Amino acid sequence: MFSAMNFRLQKNFRIINLPYDYFRLSIAMKKAATIFQLLFVFVFSFYSRSDNDLPAADKFNLDGYMGKWFEIAAFPGGVNKGCTCTTFDYKLSENRDYVMIINSCIKKGKQGAVLAKGFIDENAAGAKWKVQLFWPFTEDYCILALADDYSYAMAGHPDRKKLWILSRNPVMDSAVYKLLTEKAQSSGFDTTQLIRTIRDCNLK
């Protein structure tokens, strides 16, 4: 009986020959998955990296920094590329565990805004943040200089590729602007890249 059953199994057994392209596709998919994983790790590490070499402003008061700031000048690029009349509005969350950021500007005659969150680094007395524009990535944001009366400020990224000069008023005194650019230059920023923000705020 065993031999008869064995015969029937052998008779019904069929070898399936998969095409060569199937194996090539499988290998290609594995390679693509590996590349994607490596790319994700690279992007995550790029947006999450930190550098303690950038000194933050002394005697920083988080509540005093909240409110509306006008961008006077900045390095080009990012979400504000091609913008005029750029402003930043900062507001502490109810639990004071992060800062709500509204980055507004006019682009191609239309008013727009980008929302972000700023997570405070308590070790830096609040003058260093991790800004999250897209979850789960964050970027370092360091407040480099600040007026005693919080009438002007300057912030940047530790890689020295991002810099903002801010004021509570749309216009900044030329002497103050010169003072801030000199401080930025001494901190390793290439201030020749600074572009004055156009304040033509007419909507189309």
What would the pLDDT profile of 86-103 be if each residue is shown by its tens digit? 999 999 999 888 999 999
Q: Are 91 and 180 in contact (CB under 8 A)?
A: no
Q: Residue 50's CB: how many other CB atoms inside 10 A?
A: 14
Q: What residue segments make up the domains of the chain, in order of their start?
A: 2-48, 62-196
What would the pLDDT profile of 114-154 be if each residue is shown by its tens digit? 999 999 887 667 789 999 988 888 899 999 999 999 999 99
Give me the pLDDT at residue 11, please: 47
**What is the b/e burial string over 150-169, where b = at least 16 CB atoms within 10 angstroms of the residue's CB?**
bebbbbbbbebebbbbbbee
> What CATH architecture is 62-196?
Beta Barrel (2.40)
Distance CA 29, CA 34 (A): 9
User: What's the half-sphere exposure (Cβ side, CA atoms, 13 Å) at 27?
Assistant: 5
